[in-house]
Chains A and B, each alone.
Chain A
Amino acid sequence: MTKHEFEVAMTCEGCSGAVARILNKLGDVKFEIDLPKKLVWIESDKDVDVLMETLKKCGKEVKYNGTK
């Protein structure tokens, strides 16, 4: 499994909660969310594009920081 780092413009627990729910729905992923740093780490074999699109669903700005 590859670990990807994303920067997501989350501002509160509601935002990170939404991100967590979206990722849970996607399934097949392990993730960690660091709200103060606005970072999301995702461990998954899925395509980066797929993960990106999924994160974007919450309506926030998403940036891909590469693999960790």
Chain B
Amino acid sequence: KINLCSVSLRVEGMTCGSCVQSIEQRIGSLHGVIHIKVSLEKKSATVIFDSSQQSPESLSEAVEDMGFESSVPESSTAT
């Protein structure tokens, strides 16, 4: 059973399209990630994921692991 959630993470440190691409590819290949859209202008990553396999925190950690700064905005609780 899949429990879909969506979260917009703040991502700092991206400067070009290749940064965006590598994040989309790497995070997009994680278990439980259905879709990811990274925006360079908004410095954000919008992720649709299965909440039984990932959480906003685990996704944010995965982005940090790649060398970018990431945080979960308090306002956006997963729905």
- Residues on A lying within 8 angstroms of B by beta carbon are 11-15, 17-22, 25, 57-60
Contacts and interface: CB of A to CB of B under 8 A. Distances in A.
B13 A22 contact: no
Interface string B52-75: 000000000000011111000000
Contacts of A15: 15-16, 18-19, 22
B18 A11 contact: yes
B16 A11 contact: yes
A57 B14 contact: no
B79 interface: no
A14 B40 CA distance: 11
A57 B65 CA distance: 7
Interface residues of B, number: 15
B9 interface: no
Contacts of B19: 12, 14-15, 18
Contact of A14 (B13, B25, B26, B65): B13
25 contacts: A11-B18, A12-B15, A12-B16, A12-B18, A12-B19, A13-B15, A14-B14, A14-B15, A15-B15, A15-B19, A17-B15, A17-B67, A18-B19, A20-B67, A21-B67, A21-B68, A21-B69, A22-B65, A25-B67, A57-B65, A57-B66, A58-B66, A59-B22, A59-B23, A60-B22
